[in-house]
A = this chain, B = another copy of it.
Amino acid sequence: MSEKKRRRTEAGPLAASASLKKSQRSGSHAQGLRKQLKPDAEILASVREMYDAAQSAASSSKALTLSDLSLSAACREVSDRDVASVQLAIERAVLAMARSILAGRGFSFDVPSRAASNQLYVPELDRIVLRDKSSSRPFASLSTVRKATITARVLSLVYAVLRRDIHVTKRDLFYTDVKLFQDQSQSDAVLDDVSCMLGCTRSSLHVVASEKGVVVGRLVFTDDGDRIDCTKMGIGGKAIPPNIDRVGNLESDALFILLVEKDAAFMRLAEDRFYNRFPCIIVTAKGQPDVATRLFLRRMKTELKLPVLALVDSDPYGLKILSVYMCGSKNMSYDSSNLTTPDIKWLGVRPSDLDKYRVPEQCRLPMTEQDVKAGKDLLEEDFVKRNGGWVKELDMMVKTRQKAEIQALSSFGFQYLTEVYLPLKLQQRDWL
């Protein structure tokens, strides 16, 4: 503890003169904001309200599923299924194949279409699902014999993986039969087909993506049976496991989840043990969200019923990252209900923060033409339009043509993020 305290002591003479010089420039407003901070107990009270709202919302309103809606078109989603039931589904498919062959009718797979034309954004669910179009993939046809063979092979490989109860990567799968698959995009595509055919997620097939996310804070869970206490994971944090089905027994006394876009901000929060002052779970995918981190976030949000606050760069890319967490990517739309975490609050850094916190001009960056176009495209997206606050912020970004990284806050001091910016945000309930 003494070490922790030591870190908080004020800086020495050289540093003091440096910070003096700085405050004479643009930092005086920033330091003024520091004085607005109320005692932690009061800040926590406003956080607790958000927490209570999330808890009651989660328990009162059962999460909507496709079957709750009376959609004009039949739609399709996949769900997590256990090893035995996926095995059973494969055995049934193979049995049906065998019967069909014995009856002299050859065999054919019925494969749901994953094309964009077969995708549908469902506002009530706030995610993309598949319509019911599907196509036949007969073995006895020159145009589909190869794909039918690959499909049979992937079914057999997945079955072998499930029997051993291990996990493999897409690349592993590809290498088991390079001659047949020829290149990895072919086995990858059929793997997604098989997910849709069997009605289960890709994780249920035990084919996993490599992970790059890390987590730290008020969370305890088991990874393959090992109990992990994320308050005791130092500064590096715990690497998020690639196989979500081995994650279990989530426990937490956190009031919220803090989703961070970048590594460096994560390190600052972890080193300052921000979660000890404001009970939270801190998670990052270090940039573009990977599947493992998205699954893990969703799992935390649904099981622990915690509100999620996002800290991203103030640029279109930061918002795109939010959209991947919230609405999924079009590529995996059939799996959207398991991959997406609805209702993430945009805490910061928001375009309006740049003036509110008086981020110095030289720490803001001009947006490129491409940035501006990306911003305008986002304004057309459903998930942005539904949120008036977001539209306003994005409008401001596109008009001012300025962007800024989370790190721009370092211009007020290395620990400004954890000591002033975030506490003040929480105190003022300043999320959208």
Contacts and interface: CB of A to CB of B under 8 A. Distances in A.
A224 interface: yes
Interface stretch (A37-45, A233-241, A328-336, A420-428): A233-241
Nearest to A172: B410
A263 to B, nearest CB: 4
A272 interface: yes
B168 A11 contact: no
B225 A236 contact: no
A178 B235 contact: no
16 contacts: A12-B160, A12-B163, A14-B90, A14-B159, A15-B156, A167-B271, A172-B268, A177-B411, A210-B264, A210-B286, A212-B212, A226-B233, A233-B239, A235-B241, A235-B243, A236-B241
A235 B271 CA distance: 24
A267 B208 contact: yes
A407 B175 contact: yes
A236 B242 contact: yes
Most interface-central of A166, A239, A263, A415 (chain B CB within 10 A): A239
B415 A164 contact: yes
Contacts of A19: 160
A253 to B, nearest CB: 18
Contacts of A9: 163-164
Nearest to A266: B210
A188 interface: no
Contacts of A410: 168, 171-173, 175-176
Contact-residue bracket for chain A: 35 or more
A312 to B, nearest CB: 15
Contacts of A165: 3, 6-7
B160 A15 contact: yes
A132 to B, nearest CB: 29
A232 interface: yes
A346 B380 CA distance: 53
A61 interface: no
B411 A161 contact: no
Given A11-B163, A212-B212, A408-B175, A238 B240 contact: no
A164 B9 CA distance: 6
**Stoichiometry, copies per complex:** 2
Contact of A14 (B160, B167, B362): B160
Nearest to A237: B239
Contact of A414 (B164, B246, B286, B413): B164
A426 to B, nearest CB: 21
A156 B14 contact: yes
Nearest to A270: B224
Interface string A159-196: 11101111111011111111100000000000000000
Contacts of A208: 267
A161 B271 contact: no
A214 interface: yes
A174 to B, nearest CB: 8
Contacts of A263: 169, 210-211
A232 B87 CA distance: 30
Nearest to A170: B264
Interface string A390-432: 0000000000000001011111011100000000000000000
Contacts of A214: 239
B164 A11 contact: yes
Interface string A1-29: 00100111101101101110010000000
A145 to B, nearest CB: 18
A7 B166 contact: yes
B234 A224 contact: yes
Contacts of A157: 18
B159 A286 contact: no
Contacts of A407: 169, 171-172, 174-175
A229 to B, nearest CB: 9
Contacts of A178: 360, 362-363, 411
Interface in A48-76: none
